[in-house]
């Protein structure tokens, strides 16, 4: 009985922690220069968890993870590479589990969970083709009028006849992690239903000629 109460209490604590509306804070900046070099850095904070990272051309990405202000990880982001060819069957399974439409719907639903949202996007750019700079500036001015409330876009076009850019992001929102887990579970279940439907269709297609031959 005591063990059952402890388990229930633990589940209740986990659900409460996941359901709490944490404040999500995002900051980042990315720059590119005419010589092809680029560098970027940013950070994301969700409640007691914070992630910061930086990357640049020719340098391995570096990131840190903090929990309650204590650093729990710090180091480069290493990607394991294997020269062995990947089996096609694994690639086919991954493709079957990916549906652009369902993924888009899930992503839009997840974005709607972020309430309220404040996001400031700053753009500073120039192109070697000055005409292209003017076209991009006009397009971004038109886009600014279509952005949802809380999202602001500011731009500073330069006329230097050089390929150069700088992007800055700064935003905040309230989010409950359990809602994102729910959206992810719904997506997995939708993909499972589609996969079962495809299997039933393939089985029916295989059995159909045999049934016609017997009749």
Q: Pick the closest to residue 165 from 196, 143, 136, 145 (CA basis).
A: 136
Q: Tell the burial category of 127 from Cβ atoms under 10 Å away from its Cβ (0-12, 13-18, 19+).
A: buried
Query: Do residues 196 and 121 share a domain?
Result: yes
pLDDT digits (tens, 9 = 90+) for 165-199: 999 999 988 887 777 788 888 888 888 888 888 78
Three-point CA angle 113, 115, 120, nearest 5°: 115
Structural domain that includes position 195: 98-207
Query: Do residues 66 and 155 share a domain?
Result: no
Q: How far is CA 175 from the centre of its chain?
A: 15
Q: Which residues of the chain have pLDDT under 70?
A: 1, 78-101, 104-105, 108, 111, 116, 208-215
**Tally of domains in the chain:** 2
Whole-prediction pTM: 0.62
Q: How far is residue 214's CA from residue 53's CA, in Å, rounded to a whole number?
A: 66
Residue 48 lies in a domain: yes
Query: Do residues 124 and 179 share a domain?
Result: yes
For residue 116, is the peptide bond before it cis, meaning its omega torsion is within 30 degrees of 0? Answer: yes
Residue 107 lies in a domain: yes
Query: Do residues 72 and 108 share a domain?
Result: no
3-state secondary structure of 189: helix
The set of long-range contacts for 94-98, using a CB threshold of 8 Å and a minimum separation of 24, is 96/191, 96/195, 96/198, 97/191, 97/195, 98/191
Q: How far is residue 147's CA from residue 121's CA, in Å, rounded to a whole number?
A: 11
Three-point CA angle 69, 71, 77, nearest 5°: 135
Number of C-alpha atoms within 13 angstroms, CB side, residue 125? 19
Alpha helices in 42-175 (DSSP H): 88-96, 100-112, 130-144
Residue 90 lies in a domain: no
Cα-only R_g, the chain: 25
Query: Do residues 112 and 198 share a domain?
Result: yes
> Alpha carbon of 20 to those of 46, 92, 112: distances in Å?
11, 38, 17
């Amino acid at each position: 009985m005591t063990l059952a109460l402890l388990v229930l209490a633990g589940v209740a604590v986990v659900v409460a922690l996941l359901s709490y509306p944490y404040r999500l804070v995002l900051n980042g900046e990315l720059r590119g220069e005419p010589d092809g070099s680029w560098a970027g850095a940013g950070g994301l904070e969700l409640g007691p968890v914070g992630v910061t990272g930086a990357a640049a051309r020719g340098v391995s990405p570096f990131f840190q993870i903090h929990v309650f202000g204590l650093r729990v990880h710090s180091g480069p982001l290493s990607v394991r590479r294997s020269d062995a060819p990947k089996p096609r069957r694994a690639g086919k399974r991954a493709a079957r589990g990916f549906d652009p439409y369902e993924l888009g719907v899930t992503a839009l639903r997840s974005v709607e969970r972020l309430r309220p949202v404040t996001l400031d996007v700053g753009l500073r750019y120039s192109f070697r083709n000055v005409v292209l700079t003017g076209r991009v500036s006009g397009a971004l001015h038109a886009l600014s009028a279509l952005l949802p409330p809380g999202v602001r876009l500011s731009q500073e076009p330069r006329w230097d006849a050089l390929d150069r850019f700088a992007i800055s992001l700064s935003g905040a929102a309230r989010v409950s992690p359990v809602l994102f887990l729910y959206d992810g579970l719904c997506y997995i279940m939708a993909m499972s239903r589609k996969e079962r439907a495809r299997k039933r269709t393939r089985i029916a297609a295989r059995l159909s000629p045999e049934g016609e031959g017997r009749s």
